[in-house]
Amino acid sequence: MKHAVITGAAHGIGKALAHRFAQEGYAITGVDIDAAGAARVERELNARFVIADLRADAGIARVLPELLQGKPIDVLIHNAGINAVGRFPDISIENHERVIAVNFYAPMVLTAALLKADLLAKGASIVFISSLSHYTSYPGAATYAATKSGLASYARSLSIALAPQNIHVTTVFPGPTRTAHARRHSPRNTREEKRMPPEKLAHLILRGIKKKKHLIIPGAVNQILAHLGKWCPPLMVYAMRKVILEKL
Amino acid sequence: MQKKTVLITGATDGIGRALAKIYQSRGDRLILMGRRALDTLNDALYTKNTYCRTDLSQDKCANRVCAFLNAQKIDSIDLAIQNAGTGYYGPIAEQSAKSIREITAVNLMAPLRLTHALMPYLKKASGKLVLIGSITHAFPCPDYAVYAASKEALNTLGRNLQIEGDINVQIIHPGATRTGLHRKIGMDNEKTKKFPSAERVAQKITQAIDGRRFVATIGWQNSGARFLGRYCEGMVNAMVRTT
């Protein structure tokens, strides 16, 4: 039985990924801060969970020994992420710091430690959930955008470093997804039905990982937005300003 | 020209020190930040009134700077150059959590903290915030992945701060420069001797700061390389993979 480790697996995209990979016959180890949510997914899937707060070194230190006791990892998905929305000076420095810790620092520390412990199986995939903001910008969440771009850069370097060991690295750039996370952080939620359901996203991610893709931009609309952001930044900047920044 | 108040981080060595010399020669009021003790810095640049000793990897760094500014009765800053940076060179699996933490703290968290803390000072002077990135942000860097990632994050932070528009932000990406950083991270080989000097790079950085570009890359070769790294991702990845 193959083994998938998914951070932030109690809710949203992580939970959908846990379900999709379980369907595919994977044994699931989830990592999450929310014990109640984790217990729910554990019951649904017979998954194993490590309850840990990835904002702190102590939390990361709890995850590692648990994973080291487990089976080799075939798919490692760094999905856990938090956001802080508002104009940069209005967000407290503690919140900025938490975003960096969970979205940027924790995945890099976990990756280095798991590689060092040789816990990734031959032919394993390491997956980073970045964000479409890498291409489109995200005024009103400057630190979040920074961490997600940083993660994409790290994944790009990692992909080359690990190719000789036959470990594959995939970066996912999801756009708006219909999760509680998105609802919490959007200025208004009038177009919620337009967001991609997490189940669909999880399916596209699984398919991309199977095909050993390096980059996954899920959905045609997101792909168009990514291209516009990459090749014509002023247009996306204008749009993001209208859609997000001016509504804060 | 009117005297400006210029703050520089990482000002005791390399590009930061060279920048400090340039602004000193222009007669500007300097605020220099570094980790070293003042009595170990043998240069008239660093005095009780210009040098603020701060370890940027510490949470309290922004408070210390504000306390220093307060003590110096400085309430506005015309130019804040966030130049301090650190790195690691070696296999990803061998990098300790401590090293990842330090790079994240100095290269990303400290600029964020200082930007947050200095915003009122910059606003008051209608000043400019300059983030010193690196062209490595546009490349896959298997031997210094965390460093490149921190610079990519800094670049994106700067881009979004520009869009939010509370203050004037500029991002400047130098290429490889002959500084103490390479030796510190164990990269002291023949190659680094060919890099341009910190003085030359600092000179070009000040020209970029005097200019109006939002994102500036130092040197045309670096501009070209950065363009390829960003827009011809697949090709550049393949090139790096085979070398």
pLDDT of residue B180: 83
pLDDT in tens, A151-164: 999 999 999 999 99
Task: Give the residue, A168 or B186, on which the prediction is more confident.
Answer: A168
A contacts of B156 (beta carbons < 8 Å): 134, 137, 142, 145-146, 148-150
CA distances from A150 to A32, A122, A154, A165, B152 (A): 22, 26, 6, 23, 5
Cα–Cα distances (Å) from A25 to A45, A56, A88, A129, B52, in that order, read 11, 32, 43, 22, 58
> Is pTM, for the whole model, over 0.80?
yes
| Tokens found for residue A209 | 């990982």
Residue A215 maps to which CATH number? Answer: 3.40.50.720
pLDDT 10s digits, B18-27: 999 999 999 9
Using pLDDT thresholds of 50, 70 and 90, give the confidence band for residue B185: confident
Calpha distance B184→B199 (Å, rounded): 19
Q: How many domains does chain B have?
A: 1
Find chain A residues with C-beta within 8 A of B92's C-beta.
111-112, 115, 157-158, 161-162
Question: pLDDT (tens digit, 9 = 90+) per residue, A2-37?
Answer: 999 999 999 999 999 999 999 999 999 999 999 999
Closest by CA to B77, choosing from B171, B166, B3, is B3
Number of domains making up chain A: 1
Instruction: Give the residue among B63, B113, B57, B61 at the shortest CA–CA distance from B85.
Output: B57
Question: How remote is the C-alpha of A150 from its chain's centroid?
Answer: 13
| pLDDT score for A191 | 75
The reply to whether residue A88 touches residue B116, judged by beta carbons under 8 angstroms, is yes
Given a cut of 70, is residue B1 above it in pLDDT? Answer: no
Compute the distance between CA of residue A15 and CA of residue B139 in angstroms, rounded to an integer.
Answer: 33
| Binary contact (B153, A105; C-beta < 8 A) | no
CA A82, CA A185: separation in Å to the nearest integer?
Answer: 10
Cβ–Cβ under 8 Å, residues A176 and A195: yes
Query: Which structural domain range is residue A177 located in?
Result: 3-247
Q: Please, which pLDDT band fits residue A185 given cuts at 50, 70 and 90?
A: confident
Q: How many A/B residue pairs have CB atoms within 8 Å? A: 145
Instruction: Please give the residue range of the domain that contains residue B48.
Output: 5-242
Asked if the interface predicted TM-score (ipTM) of this complex is over 0.90, the answer is yes
Q: What percent of chain A has pLDDT over 90?
A: 85
The larger pLDDT score, comparing residue B190 to residue B75, is at B75
- CA-based end-to-end distance of chain B: 49
Q: pLDDT value at position A214?
A: 95
Contact B146 A108 (CB under 8 A): yes
The CATH number given to whatever domain includes residue B222 is 3.40.50.720
| Distance, CA of B233 to CA of B229 (rounded, Å) | 6
Note whether B166 contacts A89, CB cutoff 8 Å.
yes
